[in-house]
């Protein structure tokens, strides 16, 4: 409550004979939006619905690549969450990058497969009206998983007349989607349904994707404010062509699209209800939200084949069953004091409880249970309060500063107790708190140029099972509990140029330190402490709209990443991509024709700490041509247009094939790009 008191105290300091009002209204134009005068850093931006529609997507997870410098790859079947890379982070499936859809968090903490697991498969891309992103830990809105940044997907509140699309493509691709909006007695109903099936190009595995999505969003006026309600439902099953060792391909045991364990795959579901209200309270803009989520995952993987068990193999199952409840409150006041200085003050709070009925790891063979390694019931609750303020001293200088405090409670109960004594010892409770101050100083050089200096602390929570663990569930050996909340500290120098709505650009030099990259290793079922790290880099984004027909994008980032200590194993961070370049050109002609080309390149990156083994990197080109009539539309996407055989992702570790020695073989394990594929979409606007 001290932060709230501080917030009201700040309002009295900033305000003298003030007139409460609002700061300048911003019209959302996506990449063409002028953020000079409103942005707090150079590394935040907005992508509008029109830009989201232009780019061909291989899978739903590719939506995150609209964040400049972000890469989404896949090391498994398309039903699983993508693997994400940004600012020198191998984010795994979401750790250190926070994601939201409307009022709900997407990241799943204390997850069966990885901390911060972020699966975007439940989002229907055609319903997304806007994507807002912020890179770096500089906003008080973001608490957990905030080190490298955040993305917020807002589902549209008005999609217009109903539209249906049918997409068919190579390798058994079939997708149907219908979206639209309607007015019912003053209430706007926006809806979407999706059905998706896919076999894939793999030699031994039919992915057999069976994905179904549905969403319904209601918005209506309530008094002098507006209310919103969102229902979402997602269900999916699939088979997985996981990463494979290079030597298996070189020896001719399988092809680059082959598999060594053909019984891998998974099933997942997510059902949610969220509600919110926005209006005027106490002379400010008030917002309240609440949500409830029911989530389930069961995943079968095998990365080492016969390394641990030469007879039955190393297949394992990860599972996660949970219900999530949470919500938030905020109030924003803005105005101008007697000296003509503009100000804005925000006070907010949020709370979340994860009631995880079962999360764990089991040994399996062909999806049959052999042994339960770990099975826990977890209750993880958190509350955060924050305050921030913006103050404009004069037309050139303004500042942003704020802070948040987060408190976490962890409660772990081993469900295998007392049959497995280690499970009893792993049970326990713990708690932790952390504060995260943020600040930016902004200088505007006339109309076209703005400079930023930003600094802030962020954090990610560690898996609750690691905060209470006292023994390794596999070996029974004693281990230390990890730090529950791991702090990060970032700073950034940036510039934003907005010549006009035809040409704008951003540039940033940044650095980020993390106290310790402590993570729960879901694939092993235990917690491993990593080392402190330092990342620094430069980013450039350029957006050119030479006419109402053409627009061109260029985004480039370079990162130097190292562990920030002395260790004989080396200083490089495995999976940290130093160079990422993406570029696109889009055209919307007056006669209904449109075209798009998008290329993404990431350079070689280390797979081991001493940098002796590297991934070769890759380049991917996707193309689209389309034609729209009054009601009918048709488009063709050519994915991986150059038919690159590069790798979607690489890892380096030991595995054992049949007939190899007991210690296995250290090798690169990869998941290949899917071959060139044509997908044709037929759409009809009712």
- Reported as a single tens digit per residue, the pLDDT across 146-190 is 899 999 999 999 999 999 999 999 999 999 999 999 999 889 999
* Host domain of residue 99: 2-555+567-578
Burial class (CB in 10 A: 0-12, 13-18, 19+), 555: buried
End-to-end Cα spacing for the chain = 52
pLDDT at 347: 98
CATH number at residue 428: 2.40.170.20
pTM of the shown model: 0.91
C-alpha to C-alpha distances, 174 to 96, 139, 423, 546, 681, nearest whole angstrom: 34, 40, 45, 36, 10
- CA–CA distances in Å: residue 248 to residues 258, 496, 671: 9, 49, 13
Q: What is the pLDDT of residue 529?
A: 56
Whether residue 423 is contained in a domain is answered as: yes
Q: What is the per-residue pLDDT for 483?
A: 86
In a domain, 465, yes or no: yes
416 domain residue, yes or no:
yes
pLDDT value of position 517: 67
The domain total for the chain is 1
Domain assignment of residue 239, yes or no: yes
Using an 8 Å Cβ cutoff, are 133 and 653 in contact?
no
**In-domain check, residue 649:** no
Q: Can you give the pLDDT at residue 8?
A: 37
Cα angle value 99/102/108 (rounded, 5°): 35
At 146, list the tokens: 């905030």
- Would you say residue 609 lies in a domain? no
Q: Which residues, 6 or more positions from 421, have their beta carbon under 8 angstroms from its beta carbon?
A: none
The model's pLDDT over 105-147, given as tens digits with 9 standing for 90+, comes to 999 999 998 889 999 999 999 999 999 999 999 999 999 998 9
Is residue 524 situated within a structural domain?
Answer: yes
Q: Classify residue 639: in a domain, yes or no.
A: no
Q: pLDDT value at position 567?
A: 87
Residues 279 and 226: their CA atoms lie apart, in Å, by: 6
CA pair distance 232, 325, nearest whole angstrom: 15
Q: Which residue positions in the chain have pLDDT lower than 50?
A: 1-28, 519-523, 525-527
CA 147 to chain centre: 12
């Amino acid at each position: 409550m001290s932060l709230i008191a501080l917030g009201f105290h700040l309002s009295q300091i900033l305000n003298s004979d003030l007139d409460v009002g609002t700061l300048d209204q911003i019209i959302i134009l996506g990449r063409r939006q002028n953020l000079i005068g409103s942005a707090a850093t150079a590394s935040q931006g907005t992508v509008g619905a029109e830009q989201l529609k232009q780019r061909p997507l291989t899978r739903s997870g590719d939506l995150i690549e609209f964040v400049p410098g972000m890469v989404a790859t896949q090391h498994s079947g398309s039903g699983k969450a993508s693997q994400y890379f940004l600012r020198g982070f191998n984010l795994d499936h979401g750790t250190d990058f926070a994601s939201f859809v409307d009022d709900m968090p997407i990241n799943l903490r204390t997850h069966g497969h990885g901390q911060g697991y972020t699966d975007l498969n439940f989002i229907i891309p055609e319903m997304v009206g806007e994507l807002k992103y912020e890179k770096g830990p500089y906003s008080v809105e973001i608490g957990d998983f905030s080190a490298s940044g955040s993305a917020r997907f807002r589902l549209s509140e008005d999609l217009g007349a109903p539209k249906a699309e049918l997409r068919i493509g190579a390798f058994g691709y079939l997708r149907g989607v219908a979206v639209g909006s309607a007015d019912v007695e003053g209430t706007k109903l926006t809806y979407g349904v999706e059905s998706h099936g896919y076999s894939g190009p793999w030699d031994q595995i039919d992915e057999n994707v069976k994905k179904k999505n549905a969403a319904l969003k209601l918005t209506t006026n309530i008094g002098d404010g507006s209310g919103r309600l969102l229902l979402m439902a997602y269900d999916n099953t699939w088979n997985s062509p996981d990463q494979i060792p290079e030597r298996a391909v070189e020896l001719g045991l399988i092809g680059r699209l082959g598999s060594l364990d053909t019984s891998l795959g998974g099933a997942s579901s997510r059902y949610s209800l969220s509600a919110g209200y926005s209006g005027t309270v106490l002379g400010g803009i008030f917002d309240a939200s609440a949500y409830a989520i029911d989530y389930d995952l069961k995943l079968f993987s095998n990365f080492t084949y016969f390394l641990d068990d030469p007879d039955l193999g190393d297949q394992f199952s990860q599972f996660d069953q949970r219900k999530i409840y949470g919500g938030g409150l905020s109030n924003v006041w803005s105005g101008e004091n007697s000296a003509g200085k503009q100000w804005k003050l925000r006070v907010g709070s949020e709370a979340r409880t994860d009631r995880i009925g079962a999360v764990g790891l089991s040994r399996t063979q062909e999806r049959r249970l052999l042994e339960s390694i770990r099975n826990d019931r977890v209750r993880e609750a958190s509350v955060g309060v924050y305050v921030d303020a913006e103050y404009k001293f004069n037309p050139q200088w303004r500042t942003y500063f704020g802070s948040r405090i987060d408190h976490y409670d962890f409660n772990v109960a081993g469900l295998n107790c007392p049959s497995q004594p280690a499970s009893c010892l792993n049970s326990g409770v713990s708690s932790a708190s952390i504060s995260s101050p943020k600040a930016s100083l902004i200088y505007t050089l006339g109309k076209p140029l703005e400079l930023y200096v930003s600094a802030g602390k962020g954090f990610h929570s560690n898996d609750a099972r690691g905060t209470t663990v006292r023994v390794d569930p596999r070996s029974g050996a004693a281990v230390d509990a990890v730090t529950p909340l791991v702090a990060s500290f970032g700073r950034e120098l940036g510039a934003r140029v907005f010549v006009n709505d035809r040409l704008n650009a951003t540039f940033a030099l940044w650095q980020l330190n993390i106290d310790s990259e402590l993570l729960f290793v879901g694939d092993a079922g235990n917690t491993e402490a990593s080392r402190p790290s330092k990342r620094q880099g430069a980013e450039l984004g350029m957006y050119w709209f030479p006419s109402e027909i053409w627009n061109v994008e260029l985004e480039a980032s370079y990162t130097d990443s190292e562990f920030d200590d002395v260790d004989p194993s080396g200083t490089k961070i495995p999976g940290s991509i130093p160079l990422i370049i993406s570029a696109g050109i889009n055209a919307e002609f007056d006669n209904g024709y449109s075209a798009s080309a998008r290329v993404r390149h990431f350079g070689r990156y280390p797979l081991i700490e001493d940098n002796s083994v590297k991934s070769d990197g890759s380049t991917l080109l996707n193309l689209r041509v389309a034609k729209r009539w009054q009601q009918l539309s048709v488009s063709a996407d050519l994915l991986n247009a150059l038919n690159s055989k590069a790798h979607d992702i690489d890892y380096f570790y030991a595995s054992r094939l049949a007939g190899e020695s007991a210690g296995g073989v250290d090798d690169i394990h990869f998941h290949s790009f899917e071959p060139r594929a044509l997908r044709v979409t037929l759409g009809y606007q009712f």
